[in-house]
Amino acid sequence: MPIRLHDSATRELRDLDPVVRGHVGIYHCGLTVQGPPHIGHIRKEVVFDVLRRWLLRSGYDVTIIANVTDIDDKVLAKGEEQGRPWYAVAYENERALHAAYEVLGCLPPTYEPRATGHVPEMIEMIGELIERGHAYPADDGSGDVYFDVRSWPAYGELSNQRIDDMQPAEDAPPEGKRDPRDFALWKGHKAGEPESASWPTPWGRGRPGWHLECSAMAAKYLGHEFDIHGGGLDLRFPHHENELAQSRAAGQQFARIWMHNAMLNLGGSKMAKSVGNTLMVSEVVKRVRPIALRYYLAASHYRSIVEFSEEALAEAATAFDRIEGYVTRATEVTGGVEPGDVTPGFAAAMDDDLSTPAALAELQAVIGEGNKLLADADGEALRGNLASVRAMLDVLGLDPLAAPWTGSSGSGGDAALASLVEALIEQRAQARADKDFATADRVRDQLAAAGVEVEDTAQGARWQVKG
RNA sequence: GGUGGGUUGGCCGAGAGGCGAGGCAACGGACUGCAAAUCCGUUUACACGGGUUCAAAUCCCGUACCCACCUCCA
């Protein structure tokens, strides 16, 4: 069965039909590294990480390219504001982004090209566009080079807009533009901007316009036609519209399918620095386990708005505890099994535009069966069930027994703690054997007060640190 | 002004003409020394007003409210 994805260009579900058989090339817009990532940014990473894992499990080779915009107005402004070089700001935030990938279990992209590393490719593309009559250097001496939207009749095809209905682009003063909606491919160096933020071109020194880097880098690493271009819905216009126009006008086919994830809102509006409602990944993972945050983000459909709330996050953590509890218990009983195959229901849900909510419903049903098998002590069936559950969790990047989660949860902790807890549990077991339930309960309460939860099972007491 | 998306039970969150996704919470039962975990069961829905249809949460028309984009944004 083919994988079907919602293409935001045509606004319909389309079969994934790769350019190269057995291989899927994906480009998704990374971050402008002007600040550390918030949980809205990381939602996008989780969405594309799940897509990638599903494609891999479906037998495809995947090349995934995510850009890092390390030079633009905002990065320069941050450098100025913080009194240090713009590139120091960019690099620091790029590292924070990588830390966020890692803490949430997102596989690193195949490659993460930086805009500053691809100026020659951009210059080449600008030359091509000028030659074809779709771009022009500003005649006001600014050194800007603009894309000529009137020269490209399809302009607006991605976001379904007509040029005449659009408001003017404000990425540069309109003086040098032929049409106010023309956008900058290249921005001339301005007095007062650091010399380090400019590169020589046939049109004078300057720096990249935002949109061009993605067109140039996608072509370099994925070719003139590739399978999927993704990013946040807020990038659809103007960023992706402009990328599409540039690349097509330069004679390329560009992306076959456009995938846009919906925003993560807080307090009724999009999480964004300009609104001041951001929650940094590094902060949230202090309150809730990273795997629980990932579950929260993966549990809703990628095209639905997530209205963030602490309550919903806590609830997701509880829901995940049930899943993890099953995996832990089943692993104890079976001695552990490797991930096997996902169920047909799970596969059908994932094939249907990455319907993670339906996939999770399937997973919960399989876990319900597994819990029954656990009660019946049916070893063989239980092994099969656990293998399947682990496979499904792996697709979502939520297998608690896989990297990077191992060791971060369960009854681990340091040896001193374990030895103390086990001594108390031994005392309690003796009290229970003596039917001294008052003492047994007191020990359990003591442990609970210290944040250690004890459960009695047929095999003896299990414990884990909660929180 | 233009372009899209949305409003589902106490909460989260799917579905897209007939059959009550799933989870969390609550309640009852089984299990347990008591719990916890687990299993079984129960309760509360489709923004509002019209219309189409044998049948509408789902299709059509209208209204209200919300979100995103048209300015940097995942």
For residues A354-361, average pLDDT: 95
Distance A272 CA to B62 C1' (A): 35
The confidence score (pLDDT) of residue A140 equals 86
Give residue A23's pLDDT.
Answer: 98
Q: How far apart (Å, rounded) are the C-alpha atoms in residues A214 and A222?
A: 11
Identity of the residue numbered A180: P
Q: Which residue has the higher pLDDT, A77 or A466?
A: A77
* Residue type for position A257: I
Q: Is A211 annotated as a binding residue?
A: no
C1’ B51 / CA A432, Å: 70
- Calculate mean pLDDT across residues A238-248: 96
- Nearest residue to B39 via alpha carbon and C1': A372
pLDDT-based confidence at residue A56 (cuts at 50, 70, 90)? very high
CA A73 → C1' B73, Å? 12
- The DSSP secondary structure of A387-421, one letter per residue, reads HHHHHHHHHHT--TTSTTTTTSSTT-S-HHHHHHH
The pLDDT value recorded for residue A277 is: 93
Strand locations in A282-435, DSSP E? 306-307
Fold equal for A4-266 and A305-396: no
Strands A12-15 and A4-7: antiparallel
Q: What is the pLDDT of residues A424-441, one digit of tens each?
A: 999 999 999 999 999 999
Cβ within 8 Å of residue A264, ≥6 positions away: A39, A40, A43, A270, A271, A297, A305, A306, A308
- What's the average model confidence in pLDDT over A45-60? 97
Are A236 and A137 in contact by the 8 Å Cβ rule? The answer is no
pLDDT at residue A332 greater than cutoff 60: yes
Say which nucleotide is closest to residue A321, CA to C1' distance.
B37
**CATH code of the region A4-266:** 3.40.50.620
Residues 6+ apart with CB under 8 A from A423: none
A239 is in an annotated binding site: yes
User: In this predicted model, what pLDDT tens digit does every residue of A285-322 receive, in sequence order?
Assistant: 999 999 999 999 999 999 999 999 999 999 999 999 99
Has residue A409 got a pLDDT over 60? Answer: no
Phi–psi pair at A102, nearest 5 degrees:
-70, -45
Distance (Å, whole) CA A409 – CA A175: 60
Quickly give A261 CA vs B18 C1' distance in Å. Answer: 33
Query: What percentage of residues in chain A have a pLDDT greater than 70?
Result: 97
A199 - beta bridge partners?
A206
Mean pLDDT, rounded, for A142-151: 94
Element (H, E) at A41: helix A39-57
- Residue A62, helix vs strand vs coil: strand
Q: How far is A81 from A198, CA to CA, in rounded Å?
A: 19
Residue A450 CA distance to nucleotide B61 C1' (Å)? 62
Q: Check whether A410 has a pLDDT greater than 50.
A: no
CA of A88 to C1' of B2 (A): 40
Dihedral in degrees, nearest 10, Cα atoms A281, A287, A290, A296: -90
Nucleotide with the nearest C1' to A44 CA: B74
Assign A464 to helix, strand or coil.
strand
Structure-token pair, residue A33: 């590294």
Across all residues in chain A, what is the average pLDDT? 93
CB distance A89 to A97 below 8 Å: no
| pLDDT attached to residue A175 | 75
Q: A305-312: long-range contacts at Cβ-Cβ below 8 A with a sequence spacing of 24 or more?
A: A305/A262, A305/A263, A305/A264, A305/A265, A306/A43, A306/A262, A306/A263, A306/A264, A306/A265, A307/A265, A307/A266, A307/A268, A308/A39, A308/A264, A308/A265, A308/A266, A308/A271, A308/A279
Average pLDDT of the residues in A3-10: 94
- Rounded, the Å distance between the CA of A94 and C1' of B41 is 52
Mean pLDDT, rounded, for A116-141: 95
By C1' distance from the Cα of A11, the closest nucleotide is: B4
Range of lowest pLDDT (A60-64, A371-375, A388-392, A408-412): A408-412
Determine the distance between A359 (CA) and B39 (C1') in angstroms. 22
- Could you tell me if A461 and A455 are in contact, meaning their C-beta atoms sit under 8 angstroms apart? yes
Question: pLDDT tens digit string along A299-308?
Answer: 999 999 999 9
Residue with tokens 């599409």: A244
Q: Among all strands, which nt has the closest C1' to A28 (CA)?
A: B74
- The pLDDT value recorded for residue A1 is 75
Q: Give me the amino acid identity at A248.
A: R
- A369 annotated to bind ligand: no
- Which residue is closest, via its CA, to the C1' of B33? A437
Res. A416 pLDDT band, cuts 50 70 90: confident
The set of strand B positions with any atom below 7 Å of a protein CB reads 1-6, 11-15, 21-25, 32-40, 66-74
- Residue A240, annotated as binding a ligand: no
**Shortest CA–C1' contact from A353: which nucleotide?**
B14
Give mean pLDDT, residues A38-56. Answer: 96
> Is residue A167's pLDDT more than 80?
no
**pLDDT value of residue A171:** 66
Nucleotide nearest to A268 (CA to C1'): B67
Rounded to the nearest 5°, which phi and psi values hold at A261?
Answer: -90, 145
Q: pLDDT digit string (tens) for A182-214?
A: 999 999 999 899 999 999 999 999 999 999 999
Q: Tokens for A353?
A: 């535009």
- pLDDT band of residue A411 (cuts 50, 70, 90) is very low
User: Which nucleotide does the CA of A73 lie closest to, via C1'?
Assistant: B72
As assigned by CATH, the class of the A305-396 domain is: mainly alpha
Which carries the bigger pLDDT value, residue A458 or residue A95? A95
pLDDT at A172 over 70: no
Quickly state the pLDDT bin for A273 (edges 50, 70, 90): confident
Is A29 annotated among the ligand-binding residues?
Answer: yes
Residue ranges of alpha helices (H) inside A146-186 are none
Domain layout of chain A by residue ranges = 4-266, 305-396, 415-465
Instruction: Label the pairing between strands A306-307 and A183-188.
Output: unpaired
Helix, strand, or coil (residue A257): strand
The one-letter amino acid code at A268 reads G
